[in-house]
Amino acid sequence: MEDIIFKAKIIEKNENKKGKYIILNHTEFYPDGKGGQLGDRGTIDSSKVVKVDISDNKIFHFVDEFPSAKSNKEVTCIISGERRRNISIHHTAQHILSGAFFNLFDIETVSFHMEENYCTIDLSTPNISQEEIEDAEELANKIVMANVPVRKYFVNKEELAKLPIRKKHAVTGKTRIIEIPDFDISMCGGTHVNYTGEVGVIKVTKYERVKKTFQRIHFTTGINALKDYQNKTKILSTISNFLTTGENELIEKIKNLLKESKHLQKETVKLKNELLRYMAKDLIKESKRIGKFDVLIKEIKDYPKEDIIALSKKCISEKPLLTILYRKDNETEIAISKSDKVNIDLMELKEELSKRFKVRGGGNNKFLILQINEDEGFKEFILDFIQRN
Ligand SMILES: [Zn+2]
DSSP 28-58: -PPPTTGGGPPPP-EEETTEEEEEEEEETTE
Calculate how far, in angstroms, residue 174's C-alpha sits from the geometric centre of ligand 1: 16
Average pLDDT of the chain is: 92
Detail the DSSP E strand segments found in 188-276.
202-210, 214-221
Residue 218 Cα to ligand 1 midpoint, Å, equals 17
**Distance from the alpha carbon of residue 104 to the mean position of ligand 1, in angstroms:** 20
The reported pLDDT for the residue numbered 292 is 87
Q: How far is the CA of 43 from the centre of ligand 1 (A)?
A: 25
Contact 329, 307 (CB under 8 A): no
Contact in structure between 312 and 336 (CB atoms under 8 Å):
yes
β-strand partners of 12: 23
Domain parsing of the chain, residue ranges: 4-79, 85-230, 283-388
**What is the pLDDT at residue 375?**
65
E strand or H helix at 226: helix 222-242
**Residue 336 scores a pLDDT above 90:** yes
Distance 45 CA to ligand 1 centre (A): 30
Ligand 1 centroid–CA 176 distance in Å is 10
pLDDT bin (cut points 50, 70, 90) of residue 151 is very high
Backbone dihedral angles phi then psi of residue 64, each to the nearest 5 degrees: -70, -40
Q: Which CATH architecture has domain 4-79?
A: Beta Barrel (2.40)
Rounded distance from Cα 133 to ligand 1 centre (Å): 21
CA–CA separation, 242 and 245 (whole Å):
8
- Do the beta carbons of residue 171 and residue 136 sit within 8 Å? no
Task: Determine the distance separating the centroid of ligand 1 and the alpha carbon of 291, expressed in angstroms.
Answer: 88
Please identify, in words, the CATH class of the domain defined by 85-230: alpha beta
Q: Are 10 and 24 in contact (CB under 8 A)?
A: yes
Q: Considering only residues 171 and 315, tell me which one the structure prediction assigns the higher pLDDT.
A: 315
Cα–Cα nearest to 341, from 362, 359, 316: 316
152 CA to middle of ligand 1, Å?
A: 10
Distance from the alpha carbon of residue 318 to the mean position of ligand 1, in angstroms? 77
Query: Can you state the angle between helices 346-356 and 378-388, rounded to 10 degrees?
Result: 140
Model confidence over 345-380: pLDDT tens digits? 999 999 998 998 889 998 998 999 999 987 678 888
Cα of 324 vs centre of ligand 1, distance in Å, is 73
**In this structure, what are the phi and psi dihedrals at residue 46, rounded to the nearest 5 degrees?**
-100, 0
pLDDT at 215 over 90: yes
CATH 3.40.50.720 holds for 283-388: no
Q: 349 near 382, Cβ under 8 Å?
A: yes
What pLDDT, on a 0 to 100 scale, did the predictor assign at position 257?
A: 96
* pLDDT exceeds cutoff 80 at 337: yes
Query: For 292-304, what is each residue's pLDDT tens digit?
Result: 889 999 999 988 8
Residue 97 Cα, ligand 1 centroid: separation in angstroms? Answer: 12
